Chain A
Amino acid sequence: MNYINNNIITIVTFLPFVGALLLAIFPRRDRDIRWFALGISLVTLLASLHLPWHYVRGLDGFQFEQNLPWISHPNIHYHLGIDGISMWLVVLTTFLTPLCVLISWKSVNSQVKEFFILMLILETAMIGVFVALDLFLFYFFWEATLIPMALIIGIWGHGRRIYAAVKFFLYTMIASVFMLAAIIWLYVHTGSFDFVAVRDAIQNGQIEGFASASKWLFLGFFVAFAVKVPLFPLHTWLPDAHVEAPTAGSVLLAGVLLKMGTYGLLRFNVGLFPDQSQRNAPWIMVLALISIISGALVAMVQPNVKKLIAYTSVSHLGFVVLGIFSFTQIGVDGAVYQMLNHGVSTGALFMLLGMMYERRHTYDISEYGGLATPMPVFATFFTFIMLSSVGLPLMNGFVGEFLILSGAFQARQIYGILAATGVIWSACYLFWMYQRVFYGNITHPVNKNLQDMDARERVSMWPLAIAALVMGVAPNLWLHSIDPSVAFALKPFSSGFQAAAPSAAHITQAFLRVIGR
């Protein structure tokens, strides 16, 4: 048992990579390759469930830590570990990957082997981002996510895929070199890449020249993460990438890759530079508000349904950033929870769009209409997921948005009020889109005979639908472990709003009152 606890993170992280290596020597039999990829991603999911199962709630700091020296000059460690925040993001990643394999079963026909190799490498890199506690190692994984994703978009994407892939690559690459510079600066002045060591050194004020440099360091990290989130005005790569990406690419992009940005903001920007975070919070929150509102408004007028969902991501991730920079217990809790929610509901939405695309090979809303008649099961799933995305009470989206809005109100009322309009907007654009796609008369005769979801597609949707519901009804299953870690992360801010912030129990009570139980 001890052995497993000590190595479980390494196992979870590198299982997909080992799978990718095995796939590389696999014969080119597409069917077997698909089954193998599914198998390895399911095994990874099972292995990753070890984490929440054996996680000890309420402990400060990181668990399942593994800290081995890797490179002696400079002093780089292979340091992995999770807390309540990153644990669920890891599980989210391992949860979405098998579903992505399922959804690509038929839609990826050419170069199947390469596709699944890249997907598994991507999974390893994504998990690595969430578990790395050494800044170098973090950057290592961070950059490693870039190539597989760009290739997935560029090779298996739609029409303007090359443009989208290159844009995605350059945006992220250029932004992250600034983070690299900041990481190296920290190393040079602290002699360590270790997240915990660097954080403690900063808190104890031991770093020479930190006062003048911290502004730039904060910005270095911030730019890298803000592009990934993406925060207005750095979001322009996202619609292109989403529209052109194959379904599985979109799911992973929206479901996990964007979370790397918000996770980075919370872990590194807020964790390492509390003073600078507080100082910069006003304009960051304004950017978040602009993201929420402009993302929603732009989404509303999109004729392309995938682009519409892509812009909703901008809006929803704006909520997350808002929650993080409220520095309130409840707001950050909500932000972490909303990251998971968004992964589940937007991931599911992209999968549903993928199914539409497989049938009609278009994302234009005007090409659809009246789909509820030929595809009742599909329409039901869509309704369900859409409601979770809108934030209907009893669904996951509601919990996250509710907590974030409470936090925003505590931070400053006007933020809460403005952000709350985002909830209304999201109902507008999603319902309106739903109406145009599913209701009304069938305007295009081809749509009359569309096939409803088959068994494979249903199997890939059920887990997400169930997750959306359970996360809405019993958020404490997650918040129990998220809450203490957030409290720990917010310690440097304790002088501020936190005195008034309620504990997890309060949140639950307030929440249960709202949903009337």
Chain B
Amino acid sequence: MIPTVDYIRILPEVVLAIFGILVMLVDPVIPAQDSKKPLGFIALAGVVAGIAATVFQSGYYGLAFFNTVRVDSFSIFFHIVVLFVALVVVLSSLDYLEVQQIKAGEYYALVLFATVGMMLMSSAIELVLIFIALEISSISSYILAGFRRRAAESAESSLKYFLLGSFATAFFLYGVAMVFGATGSTNVYFIAEVLTTQHSVLTYLAVALMFVGLGFKVASAPFHVWTPDVYEGAPAPVVGFMSTGPKAAAFAVLLRVLFATGAPGWFWLVWISAALSMTIGNIGALVQNNVKRLLAYSSIAHAGYLLVAFAAGQTMGISAAMFYAASYAAMNVGAFAIVAHLAGKGERYVTLEDYSGLGRRSPLIAALLTIFLLSLIGIPATGGFFAKFYVFSAALQSNLVGLTIIGVINSAIAAYYYLRIIVYMYMRDERAVEAPVAPIPFSLGAGLVISLIAVIYLGVLPNRVLDYAIRGAQDLMK
């Protein structure tokens, strides 16, 4: 007999799954030629209900379902991040799908299912369950990447993501199997107990394999090669989703696997991957002319900064990583919402050239995008600044001087290509044919305001979120 409180501990997942199924059920009822927007509103309601469920759940810390799920401040933190991402993505998709004439209601259902997977990733403490959750979220994302059916690059994106993604999850699964072989368990906290007394070669191998699998999901170098192509082809709101939600969830898993188990031998893996991701991401982004590709490389670089916090370890490093994931989600999802809006029908306008003179044509959109970009650079009063600052503080606290210097130099390089977008928007306006800009629809406006508030809140009053992240980090290690 499973006690009721166990169900509360997976309540957000249950709520979202129900709403996802509801979307699927209502979809056939809507006539083919009609707008599918009502489904979007159902999804929206689902996300809001999910947030409410998470808040409710936060009073019920503890284990559930035979020690496979654990609700603590760590899982709540990532639940909120993921739900926030889903909220903004659904809001920005409502009108995007209309403009692109994508009449497929399952889009919203897939977003919800992917969110379910991501939430479960952050609360599962059983490696097999983590794997299932990872697959739920990944498979949904593979399909979402191919939603611009008529565009060849979207199909390419979906196929690439799928092939490489399944390859990577296989690595992860292989690692799980080896952990089981080494310790006789797949429960993270049980593994931790075993690892306090014995380390075998198998454990090192397992950690490395799991890192490869998860490194793919977070797009860290050298497992990043898929990122630019996939991001370029996938629908822009989906890219906003993929680059923040699954990434945050995969980082949550990585935190669990590396820190909660006390696994050995990951330090140099993370160190090298962090240094490579930052450098490759930033240098790659310097030469991009397609905004989506540019942001894809920037997302690789940001995975690198996050891994710096991993390398720092300890409470401060973990909480820095959590805070970074949250602020990266806020700014990137906002930036992609704008990119999606500006892309226009068939995503024709996604190059830097198309952005020229935007500051004059639609000052509000340009100003918003500027704020998100400044946050990605790490300019004060934005979440990105504080996140970066906190990561580097953690790194220096752990005496990672070399990595800090690499990171600091990288963040200076990064300023250049974000600035390039701003330069195009405000300082160039000599173009004869300008890309048309539609006024901001209400739902997108709401999504943008939410992300803007999040970015500024994290940059000016980060106290509460930080404290919560620190508590989460402490919970994780318990």
Contacts and interface: CB of A to CB of B under 8 A. Distances in A.
Interface of A: 70-74, 110-111, 114, 136, 139-141, 143-144, 146-147, 150-151, 154-155, 161-162, 165-166, 169-170, 173-174, 177-178, 180-181, 184-185, 187-188
A177 B393 CA distance: 13
Contact of A147 (B379, B408, B428): B379
Interface in B392-408: 392-393, 396-397, 404-405, 408
A155 B359 contact: yes
B387 to A, nearest CB: 13
Contacts of A170: 412, 415-416, 419
A184 B393 contact: yes
Majority secondary structure of chain A interface residues (helix, strand, loop or mixed): helix
Contacts of A136: 389
B196 interface: no
26 contacts: A72-B463, A73-B316, A73-B319, A74-B390, A110-B360, A111-B359, A111-B360, A140-B381, A144-B379, A151-B426, A165-B427, A169-B415, A170-B416, A173-B412, A173-B415, A177-B408, A177-B409, A180-B389, A180-B392, A180-B408, A181-B392, A181-B396, A181-B405, A181-B408, A188-B393, A188-B396
Given A110-B360, A140-B381, A177-B411, 8 more contacts: A73-B316, A73-B319, A139-B380, A140-B385, A147-B379, A170-B412, A170-B416, A181-B405
Nearest to B413: A174
Contacts of B404: 181, 184
Contacts of B411: 177
A137 to B, nearest CB: 9
B199 to A, nearest CB: 30
Contacts of A71: 462-463, 466
B470 interface: yes
B379 A143 contact: yes
B363 interface: yes
B412 A140 contact: no
Nearest to B397: A188
A155 B427 contact: yes
Nearest to B377: A173
B423 interface: yes
Contacts of B358: none
A111 B380 CA distance: 24
Contacts of B360: 110-111
B98 interface: no
Nearest to A189: B396
Given A73-B470, A177-B411, A165 B423 contact: yes
Nearest to A72: B463
Contacts of B412: 170, 173-174, 177
B393 A161 contact: no
Contact of A166 (B359, B390, B409, B423): B423
B363, B415, B466 pick with most chain A CB within 10 angstroms: B415
A147 B374 contact: yes
Contact of B380 (A74, A141, A162): A141
Contacts of A114: 359, 363
B193 interface: no
Contacts of A169: 415, 419
Interface residues of B, number: 35
A166 B419 contact: yes
A74 B316 CA distance: 9
A131 to B, nearest CB: 15
A144 B390 CA distance: 18
A420 B316 CA distance: 53
A175 to B, nearest CB: 9
B305 to A, nearest CB: 13
B427 A154 contact: yes
A213 B360 CA distance: 48
A181 B404 CA distance: 8
A140 B380 contact: yes
Nearest to A216: B401
A166 B466 contact: no
| 5 nearest CB pairs, A to B | A140-B380, A174-B412, A154-B427, A177-B408, A188-B396
Interface in B431-478: 462-463, 466-467, 470
Interface string B331-365: 00000000000000000000000000001100100
A150 B377 CA distance: 14
Contacts of A144: 379-381
Contacts of A184: 389, 392-393, 396, 404
A296 B350 CA distance: 48
Nearest to A175: B412
Nearest to A143: B380
A74 B393 contact: yes
Contacts of A181: 392, 396, 404-405, 408
A136 B380 CA distance: 10
Nearest to B374: A147
A72 to B, nearest CB: 6
B379 to A, nearest CB: 6
Nearest to B315: A73
A161 B428 CA distance: 10
A40 to B, nearest CB: 20
A141 B411 CA distance: 18
Nearest to A69: B463
A208 to B, nearest CB: 12
B467 A73 contact: yes
Nearest to A174: B412
Contacts of B319: 73
A111 B134 CA distance: 49
Contacts of B463: 70-72
Contacts of B396: 181, 184-185, 188
A469 B305 CA distance: 53
A74, A154, A177 pick with most chain B CB within 10 angstroms: A177
Nearest to A139: B380
A155 B415 contact: no
A143 B379 CA distance: 6
A144 B385 CA distance: 11
A151 B392 CA distance: 28
Nearest to B364: A24
Contacts of B470: 73
Nearest to A142: B380
A139 B408 CA distance: 14
Contacts of B374: 147
A184 B404 CA distance: 10
B339 to A, nearest CB: 21
B319, B360, B393, B411 pick with most chain A CB within 10 angstroms: B393
Contacts of B393: 74, 184, 187-188
A257 to B, nearest CB: 16
Contacts of B316: 73
Contacts of B423: 154, 162, 165-166
A110 B385 CA distance: 31
A139, A150, A154, A173 pick with most chain B CB within 10 angstroms: A173
Contacts of A74: 390, 393
A28 to B, nearest CB: 9
B404, B409, B426 pick with most chain A CB within 10 angstroms: B426
Nearest to B462: A71
Contacts of B428: 162
A355 B379 CA distance: 34
Contacts of A150: 419
A136 B408 CA distance: 16
A162 B416 CA distance: 12
A413 to B, nearest CB: 41
A205 B422 CA distance: 46
A184 B397 CA distance: 9
A188 B380 CA distance: 20
A178 B409 CA distance: 8
Nearest to A70: B463
A170 B286 CA distance: 14
Nearest to A153: B427
Contacts of A72: 463, 466-467
A114 B397 CA distance: 41
A356 B427 CA distance: 24
